[in-house]
């Protein structure tokens, strides 16, 4: 299984993106999508704790791909990654690609593939 973690200041953005991706790949694929936008109470902002919880939900997965939009979304993801265990660190990739377009593309690949290299081939050649 592959975990796709979506991080934005807006919970609506990551909820909508999760819906959009799941409409394409289904909910029963090799990729599991996590909407981690907004603060813990749903307000605009990002939360490293919420992102770390998302990472830990994927602890038995093969790969964990994290997508962020702007500024402190990336910082919060980096803080969450620093707090993750060494075992988890090996599975995590923070992807430098646009949130919506990048997560959509990688999720489609991750829904049918296992290898990190195969999953990221398209996106790494594009960005």
Does 101 interact with a copy of itself (rule: CB under 8 A)? Answer: yes
Does 99 interact with a copy of itself (rule: CB under 8 A)? Answer: yes
Among 3, 4, 9, 33, binds a copy of itself (CB under 8 A): 9
Q: How many residues bind a copy of itself (CB under 8 A)?
A: 23
2, 5, 9, 73: the active-site residue: 9
Beta bridge partners of 32: 3
Nearest CA among 121, 93, 100 for reference residue 2: 93
Residues 64-93 that bind a copy of itself (CB under 8 A): 69-70
CB 14 within 8 A of CB 36: yes
* Residue 11 or 91 with smaller CB distance to a copy of itself: 11
Among 4, 5, 7, 13, binds a copy of itself (CB under 8 A): 13
Query: Would you call 9 a catalytic residue per the annotation?
Result: yes
DSSP 71: T
Nearest CA among 104, 125, 127 for reference residue 19: 104
Angle, nearest 10°, between helix axes 99-110 and 11-25? 30
Cα 80 to its chain centre, rounded Å, is 12
Footprint on this chain of a copy of itself (rule: CB under 8 A): 8-17, 19-20, 23, 37, 44, 69-70, 98-102, 104
Residue numbers annotated as active site = 9
């Amino acid at each position: 299984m592959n975990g796709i973690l979506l991080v934005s200041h807006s919970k609506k953005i990551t909820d909508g993106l999760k819906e959009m991706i799941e409409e394409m790949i289904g909910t029963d694929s090799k990729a599991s999508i996590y909407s981690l936008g907004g603060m813990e109470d749903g307000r605009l902002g990002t939360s490293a704790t919420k992102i770390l919880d998302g990472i830990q939900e994927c602890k038995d997965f093969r790969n964990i791909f994290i997508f962020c939009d702007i500024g402190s979304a990336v910082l919060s993801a980096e803080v969450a990654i620093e707090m993750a265990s060494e075992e988890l660190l090996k599975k995590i990739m923070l992807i430098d690609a646009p949130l919506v377009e990048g997560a959509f593309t990688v999720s489609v690949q991750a829904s049918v593939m296992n290898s990190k290299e195969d999953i990221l081939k398209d996106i790494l050649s594009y960005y």
